[in-house]
Chains A and B, each alone.
Chain A
Amino acid sequence: MSRGGGALLRLEGVTKSFGTTPVLRGIDLAIARAEFLTLLGPSGCGKTTTLRLIAGFETPDAGRLLLEGRDLAGLPPYKRDVHTVFQHYALFPHYDIFENVAFGLRVRRLPQDEVAARVREALALVKLSGFERRLPASLSGGQMQRIALARALVCRPALLLLDEPLGALDLKLRKEMQLELKSLQRKIGVTFVYVTHDQEEAMTMSDRIAVFNHGRLEQLGSPAEIYERPRTAFVADFIGAANVLTAQEASGLFCGRLKGEGPVAIRPERIAVRYHQNGGPAEGTLRLNARLLDNVFLGNSNQIFVEALGGAGKRLMALSMDGEHRQPRAPGSPLWLDIAAKDILALDA
């Protein structure tokens, strides 16, 4: 993955407000060629605005967008080598599928036989050959989504923007389409910038994830980096589940046994719950006294809610795949929590 000068698209200090509401507060982001980058965050975090800025539907208040080193300022959407798959597909209802997919090619005045060949190829790519003469209204949501994808890809854009394209599909179809989209992106090697608020979707598909919150880029990294090394409490909490402890709570609970002094996060599956003290904790492991609050059976795992004793006390959640925890125990039972020091993730204050 090329970085820096080789980036396909660079955002430099991009700022945007709607009226007096700041939506983006200085975004710096470099998108590499052929990567699958996901903009992830809760609604109102600025991810869709970022996408619309790249597409050209909005203009930044400050900062620059550079596509292959060329400043996009002043370029209308129809002059950008960037195409979008819209959230509600936006297939033209008065054109059949062939004409929908051919729309961008006709704009480019390609010869008729090339238009036909490329439409056929694009429909084959999304596995909807034979749908040429159907109208969009006669398609299912999943089919419309594929046609929207074919329509955008047929023009071979440098960059494809996808605005929550799976949002309107049911869960099962969404899961299928996630894997399909990812393998399609690998096959054709087009750069995808994908917007979603679904962290699982982001984890499934992305090469890198950019986590947005309140108009800021909180963290940028591979799914594994983001999960294993969250930088802020927001990222730790938004991606996967996490027990987030403030600096005060952490120092109270661990009584200075930690290296840093800031807030920390602990993944629930990294907390080992023990009902017997049997010897001391292993090397490099910290042990906390706690009592059981609740134990929820989830099928393949158990969610164990405990209250750590010491300091001001703190409710924690642990996740265990261990069969031992299937045995119901009375709330209030004493137990011990073993946490490896390396699993106590230091966060930015």
Chain B
Amino acid sequence: MDAWLSWLICGRSRKSSYALLAPAVLWLALFLIIPVACLLELGFLRLGPYGTVVFSLTLSNFSRAIEPRYLEILLRTLGYAGITTLLCLALGFPAAYYLSFRAGRRRELCLAALMIPFWTSCLVALYSWMIILGREGLLNSLLLRSGLIAHPLRLLNTPFSVVLGLAYFYIPFMVLPLYGSLEKLPRQYLEASYDLGAGRARTFFKVTLPLCLPGVVAGCILTFIPCMGDFLTAEFLGGPRTYLVGNLIQNQFLMAQDWPFGAALTSVLLILLVAGLYFYQRVEPQR
């Protein structure tokens, strides 16, 4: 055992390197690669009676997936994910900046405040938002009592509530990479900029922002991708006009029992995201 361990840890041979990688590769193969391959294959099969799958190859699921009425849902989802990402960036950048530059001793507390909602069950959070945003909810009753509005506003089941919910769930994915890149930014660059006569705004746009751009990009990717796949938020906080790709896919698997079409939709979404990431890596200037 001991000799085997030392071979594994200290060995420089190709075999010991593979041995170190093996558990992770096995795990990925079992629970990611094989299921994704199955899913892709499922998209090319035909739907049989009563939700069964018939083993005959077809492209009809894919051609159906890019029909205008489904494309519209896909485009809507892109829009929601994009707006949510921008909102997270707008809210998250000042927060990350505060955490890194101003928080001082309150930093730990602020980071905990950022993470604790993230660790609570999302169902609890969604029901809480329903209570807050409902017609007789917390927000409406506060606004009514303060006299700012005469009639309760329709907040729940609107695009507003869906974007709010998505931003609420995914903002840690934005703030943490931003905070990390701001923390790594040597303060000497900022001092050099001030020293050369650049004021706070100029220093921010000419030095701080360009140097933490990798963090901005990472934050946007990490926020955008889960937003594209989210279905719970739209399900609980949205309405018929906020039906997203995630809901469509979920319905194919759980309600319509049309697994091949669900698999085709999932494949289209997956290919779109992977292609987007690949394209981004190609155009991003090498640093």
Do B197 and A108 have beta carbons less than 8 Å apart? yes
Interface string of A34-76 (1 = CB under 8 A from B): 0000000000000000000001110000000000000000001
Q: Does A77 contact B (CB under 8 A)?
A: yes
Closest A residue, CB atoms, query B198: A107
Tell whether A90 pairs with B186 under 8 Å between CB atoms, given A57-B191, A77-B191, A84-B192.
yes
Quick check: is A268 within 8 A (CB to CB) of the other chain?
no
Contact partner, B195, options A78, A88, A91, A92, Cβ 8 Å: A78
Report the minimum CB–CB distance from B65 to chain A (whole Å).
Answer: 42
- Considering the chains assembled together, what is the distance between the CA atoms of A78 and B186 in angstroms? 18
B199:A90 contact, CB within 8 angstroms: no
Distance A155 CA – B192 CA, assembled complex (angstroms): 13
A64-107 CB mask vs B (1 if < 8 Å, else 0) is 00000000000011110011101010111110000000011001
Choose from B188, B199, B207 the contact partner of A86 (Cβ within 8 Å): B188
Tell me whether A151 is interfacial, beta carbon within 8 Å. Answer: yes
Query: Which chain A positions have C-beta within 8 A of B199?
Result: 76, 78
**Is A107 within 8 A of B202, CB to CB?**
yes
- What is the total number of residues of chain B having a CB less than 8 Å from a CB of chain A? 18
Instruction: Among A78, A91, A94, A108, point to the contact of B194 (Cβ < 8 A).
Output: A78
The answer to whether A94 and B211 have CB atoms under 8 Å apart is yes
Instruction: Report whether A92 and B207 are in contact in the complex, using a CB–CB cutoff of 8 Å.
Output: yes
Closest to B196 in A: A104
Q: From B285, which residue of chain A is reached at the shortest CB distance? A: A94
Interface mask (B180-220 → A, CB under 8 Å = 1, otherwise 0) = 00000010110111111111001100110011000000000
Whether the pair B188, A78 counts as a contact (CB closer than 8 A) is no
CB neighbours (8 Å) of A107 from chain B are 196-198, 202
Q: Is the CB of B198 within 8 A of A90?
A: no
Are A104 and B191 within 8 A (Cβ)?
Answer: no
Interface size grouping (class) on chain A: 20 to 34
A86 lies within 8 A of B196 (CB): no
Q: What's the Cα separation between A84 and B195 when bound, in Å?
A: 7
**Other-chain contact of A83, B196, B203, B207 (Cβ < 8 Å):** B196
Q: Mark A159-171, 1 if CB is under 8 A from B, else 0.
A: 0000000000000
The contact of A78 among B198, B210, B211, by CB within 8 Å, is: B198
Report chain B residues within 8 Å CB of A55. Answer: 191, 195
Q: Enumerate chain B residues within 8 angstroms of A104, measured Cβ to Cβ.
A: 196-198
The answer for the CA separation of A108 and B211 in the assembled complex, in Å, is 22
B188-A88 in contact (CB<8A): yes
Q: Which residues of A contact B188 (CB under 8 A)?
A: 86, 88, 90
Cβ distance B287 to chain A, nearest Cβ, rounded Å: 8
Contact of B191 among A79, A86, A91, A93 (CB under 8 A): A86
Q: B186: which A residues are within 8 A, CB to CB?
A: 90
How far is it, in angstroms, between the C-alpha of A155 and the C-alpha of B186 when the chains are bound?
Answer: 23
**Measured CA separation A55–B189 after assembly (Å):** 14
Report how far A52 CA is from B44 CA in the complex, Å. Answer: 68
In the complex, what residues of B have CB within 8 A of residue A155's CB? 196-197
Do A90 and B189 touch (CB < 8 A)?
Answer: yes
Which of chain B's residues have a CB closer than 8 A to the CB of A79? 197
Instruction: Give residues of chain B (227-271) contacting chain A, Cβ–Cβ below 8 Å.
Output: none
Q: Which residue from chain B places its CB closest to the CB of A108 in the assembled complex?
A: B197
* Chain B contacts for A93, CB-based, 8 A: 189, 211
Residue of A nearest to B210 (CB): A94
Residues of B within 8 A of A91 (CB): 192
What's the Cα separation between A79 and B192 when bound, in Å?
Answer: 13
In this complex, which of A56, A90, A91, A93 has the most chain B Cβ atoms within 10 angstroms of its Cβ? A90
Q: Per-position contact with B for A128-167: 1 when CB-CB < 8 Å, else 0?
A: 0000000000000000000000011001000000000000
**Are B211 and A86 in contact, with the CB atoms below 8 A?**
no
Q: Give the CA-CA distance A266 to B188 in the complex, in Å.
A: 43
Q: Provide the residues of chain A in CB contact with B191, threshold 8 Å.
A: 55, 57, 77, 84, 86, 90
Complex-state Cα separation, A90 to B211, whole angstroms: 13
Cβ distance A16 to chain B, nearest Cβ, rounded Å: 17
Residues from chain A with Cβ under 8 Å of B203 in the complex: 78
- A contact residues around B210 at 8 Å (CB): 94
- Which partner residue on chain B sits nearest A79 by CB separation? B197
Inter-chain contacts of B195 with A (CB < 8 A): 55, 77-78, 82-84, 152
Bound Cα distance from A113 to B203, whole angstroms: 23
> Which of A's residues lie within 8 Å of B, judged by CB?
55-57, 76-79, 82-84, 86, 88, 90-94, 103-104, 107-108, 151-152, 155
Binding site for A on B (CB under 8 A): 186, 188-189, 191-199, 202-203, 206-207, 210-211
The list of the 5 closest CB pairs from A to B, nearest first, reads A104-B196, A90-B192, A90-B188, A77-B194, A107-B197
> Given A86-B192, A104-B196, 18 more contacts at CB 8 Å?
A78-B198, A78-B199, A78-B203, A83-B196, A86-B188, A88-B188, A90-B189, A90-B191, A91-B192, A92-B189, A92-B192, A103-B193, A107-B196, A107-B197, A107-B198, A151-B196, A152-B195, A152-B196
Supply 7 A–B pairs (Cβ within 8 Å), ascending by A: A57-B191, A78-B195, A84-B192, A90-B188, A104-B197, A107-B196, A152-B196
